[in-house]
């Protein structure tokens, strides 16, 4: 499939799959990490793959016939419930890849990319408010907070003022409308920077729509709870706020002798991987092993 898994060698190294071990891939996507795990834990080992996006889950189901891959549609915040419903135990390793797949960006039609004209949805599934609802209905100060906190957007206030002015004239419904509104708001030199001027705003809205940071905070203690002793927890993040949540959780649990941290510093993609997969540039992998 179009999605190229990030830090695959490093995931395999730190999850340490072997004969008969069971793993949960909390963001299974098209199986980029799960299928290699299945090759290494056969013939008895299983993988439980959780995915919010129903469409990509259907594609994976059609692609893979191996009954050792158990697929569940849902939010990984329900990790304990999903594992229990599938009678999935023992759990020897859990993986979170918090990045978006190329398919979601390029083919889902949900407005994740500022490069395409699509409805402003940005939801991974069909629950919660859309980006369109947030942009058109949320108070000005809330929007400023979203762009500053989740996008670290220096022109957050100017962009939101432009959004508020424009939404009074007509609803903002599609990506190209929003891109033009952002362009109107930011200085000329910002429009020709290293990254596209709409990148931070789109990222911030996606994080807000899917409540990504709170979901991560909620699930990490649950993941630790259902792991077997010596089980591995591996998280790949793509945003500094995500990485900080993981780092702080690992440190706290390490102080309480619940975890051994296996990565003193986050693992980054090799030069070779960066050459073949540019989206791995912002990926950071942290890994830990459960003690008790």
Give me the pLDDT at residue 103, please.
58
Give me the pLDDT at residue 104, please.
65
- Beta strand pairing call for 284-290 and 259-261: antiparallel
Give me the pLDDT at residue 125, please.
84
Q: Are residues 150 and 74 in the same domain?
A: no
Return the H-helix or E-strand segment holding 96. strand 91-97
3, part of any domain: no
Report, as ranges of residue numbers, the positions in the chain whose pLDDT lies below 50.
Answer: 1-2
Q: Are residues 28 and 73 in the same domain?
A: yes
Over residues 138-174, the pLDDT tens digits come to 999 999 999 999 999 999 999 999 999 999 999 999 9
Give, in degrees to the nearest 5, the angle at Cα 156 between 192 and 165.
100
Q: Are residues 235 and 255 in the same domain?
A: yes
- Beta strand pairing call for 47-51 and 284-290: unpaired
218, part of any domain: yes
Which of 158, 192, 210 lies at the terminal end of a domain, its last residue?
Answer: 210
1, part of any domain: no
Which of 180, 210, 240 lies at the terminal end of a domain, its last residue?
Answer: 210
Over residues 242-285, the pLDDT tens digits come to 999 999 999 999 999 999 999 999 999 999 998 988 888 899 99
Q: Are residues 58 and 130 in the same domain?
A: no
Give me the pLDDT at residue 110, please.
79
Q: What's the pTM?
A: 0.92
Task: Calculate the dihedral angle through the C-alpha atoms of 110, 235, 77, 92, rounding to the nearest 10 degrees.
Answer: 130
CATH no. for residue 34?
3.40.50.150
Give me the pLDDT at residue 1, please.
43
Q: Which domain holds residue 125?
A: 114-210
Task: Calculate the dihedral angle through the C-alpha atoms of 90, 236, 213, 107, rounding to the nearest 10 degrees.
Answer: -100
Task: Tell me how many domains the chain contains.
Answer: 2
Which of 168, 185, 210 lies at the terminal end of a domain, its last residue?
Answer: 210
Q: Are residues 95 and 225 in the same domain?
A: yes
């Amino acid at each position: 499939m179009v999605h190229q898994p990030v830090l695959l060698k490093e995931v395999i190294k730190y999850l340490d799959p072997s004969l008969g071990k069971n793993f949960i891939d909390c963001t299974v996507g098209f199986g980029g990490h799960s299928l290699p795990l299945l090759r290494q834990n056969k013939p008895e080992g299983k993988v439980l793959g959780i995915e919010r996006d129903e469409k990509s889950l259907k594609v994976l189901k059609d692609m893979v016939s191996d009954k050792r891959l158990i697929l569940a549609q849902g939010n990984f915040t329900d990790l304990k419930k999903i594992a229990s419903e599938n009678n999935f135990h023992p759990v020897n390793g859990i993986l979170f890849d918090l990045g978006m797949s190329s398919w979601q960006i390029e083919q889902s039609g949900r407005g994740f990319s500022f490069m395409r004209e699509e409805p402003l949805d940005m939801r991974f599934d069909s629950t919660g408010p859309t980006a369109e609802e947030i942009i058109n209905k949320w108070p000005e100060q809330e929007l400023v907070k979203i762009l500053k906190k989740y996008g670290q957007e220096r022109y957050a206030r100017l962009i939101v003022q432009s959004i508020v002015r424009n939404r009074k004239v007509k609803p903002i419904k599609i990506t190209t409308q929003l891109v033009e509104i952002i362009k109107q708001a930011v200085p000329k030199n910002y429009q020709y920077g290293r990254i596209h001027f709409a990148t931070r705003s789109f990222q911030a809205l996606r994080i807000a729509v899917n409540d990504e940071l709170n979901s991560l905070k909620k699930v990490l203690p649950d993941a630790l709870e259902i792991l077997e002793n010596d089980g591995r927890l591996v998280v790949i993040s793509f945003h500094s706020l995500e990485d900080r949540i993981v780092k702080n959780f690992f440190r706290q649990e390490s102080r309480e002798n619940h975890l051994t941290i296996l990565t003193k510093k986050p693992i980054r993609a090799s030069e070779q991987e960066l050459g073949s997969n540019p989206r791995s540039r912002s990926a950071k992998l942290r890994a830990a092993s459960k003690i008790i």
